[in-house]
Structure formats: structure tokens, C-alpha cells
A and B are shown apart, each in its own frame.
Chain A
Amino acid sequence: DAGVIQSPRHEVTEMGQEVTLRCKPISGHDYLFWYRQTMMRGLELLIYFNNNVPIDDSGMPEDRFSAKMPNASFSTLKIQPSEPRDSAVYFCASSYRTYGGRATEAFFGQGTRLTVV
């Protein structure tokens, strides 16, 4: 498997524009996570899905952020409208359920470096 695939790797956009980040999880994984990383706040969990269903979106900072998972092999994180403070590296990660029922280690994608000017 190629691992978790994110696109684009880099995105530069102007304030007010819509930004869509994409993620393809590892085949067979039933958990998908979106994280945001900044120097100030570290790695923050934004939202996660289990079997394509959003389970916890309490980390989503504002209504400008939305995430979808229309099927097991694809997820998007959308920011509309974007603001300079959204500049960060956004990681997608996937994992699978163990025999005991808990999600195991997270496999991270390469990340999308977003710059909003």
C-alpha cells in the first residue's frame, strides 16, 4: 500500500478563498483523522471519522471548517473563507480497529502545508 495520500502538498491562497484539502486513507483502515500542526499549538485533532461517519468534530475551530468522508477511500477538509491564521500543516491519518475494538496507531500522510496570504 502507498500509505496515506494527501493532496496538494503545498497550497498558497489568498484570504477569503475556499481551500479544499484531500486525503486517501490506507485501504482497510476504518478510522480517519484530520490534524492541524502549528508551532504555537502543536498537533491538534480537528475531527475524526469511523466507518465514514464523523464521530468527534469538537476540535474544528470554526464554522468555516468542514470535513466530509463520502466513502471509505476519500475525505476532504474544506476551509471557506480562509484566513491567514489558518496557515498551518494539515495532516490526515488513518488507523484500524484492533481485536479488542480500539483504534491502533495512526499512519500519517505527508501533510498539506497551507499558507493563506
Chain B
Amino acid sequence: GQQVMQIPQYQHVQEGEDFTTYCNSSTTLSNIQWYKQRPGGHPVFLIQLVKSGEVKKQKRLTFQFGEAKKNSSLHITATQTTDVGTYFCAGAAAGGGADGLTFGKGTHLIIQP
């Protein structure tokens, strides 16, 4: 079945440093979504990427979708304490029929003030 790998599992940064998490799928994706989960909370949708090579920005967050639609990344510039949480990518398989998302295991972002 489809697998979505995400690295790193944990990332410690000093406040103000940049952060990047990477996502790779074993199969071609129709789209990829990114979610953020605060400690003790539930996943909250951030963005969806659909097109090959697509890049989207949300303030300090930059999301990329690979040309082959099998990988993606999330980059946060100048992290703040409010960025703490776990960032998940979630892929929907290409080819139609499967609407359930396969989530990566997430990257836990820990920020030291």
C-alpha cells in the first residue's frame, strides 16, 4: 500500500532559526496536504498542493510539491514559539478511487527560546 515517509522525526531549533520538514511518498500523489497539531490538540489543515512543482506561501511558511508529485517540503523562516507542534504531510494517491489520506508520522518541532 501507499507509504508516506516524513523526516526528521524531531527537530530542535532556537527561536529565530529556520525549520524544514520533508515528505516522500512511495507512489505518485494527486495532491498533498499539510497539517499542524499543537500538543494535546487535533490536526488542523494548513494547505493543499495539487500541481507538479507548485510552491505556496503563508507568511513565514513555504510549501513545495515536487515535480514528480512524490515529495513535498514545508519550510518555516525565523521560527517563533507559536510554531511549536507536530507538522504532518498527508497524501492522496493518484489514479482515482482512493479518497482517504495517508499521513506521514509527522515532524515534532521543539523551539528553545
Q: Which residues of A contact B (CB under 8 A)?
A: 31, 33, 35, 41-45, 48, 50, 55-56, 58-59, 91, 93, 102-111
Choose among A41, A104, A111 the residue that contacts B42 (Cβ–Cβ < 8 A).
A111
B positions within 8 Å CB-CB of A: 1, 30-31, 33, 35, 41-45, 48, 88, 90, 92, 98-106
With A45-B101, A48-B100, A50-B99 known to touch, is A102 a contact of B45 (CB < 8 Å)? no
In the complex, what residues of B have CB within 8 A of residue A58's CB? Answer: 1
B43 adjacent to A43 (CB under 8 Å): yes
With CB as the reference atom, state the residue of chain A lying closest to B105: A42
B43, A55: Cβ atoms closer than 8 Å? no
Contact A55 B45 (CB under 8 A): no
Listed A/B pairs (18) with beta-carbon separation below 8 Å? A31-B99, A35-B103, A41-B105, A42-B105, A42-B106, A45-B101, A48-B100, A55-B99, A56-B100, A102-B30, A102-B92, A103-B99, A106-B33, A106-B43, A106-B45, A107-B45, A109-B42, A111-B42
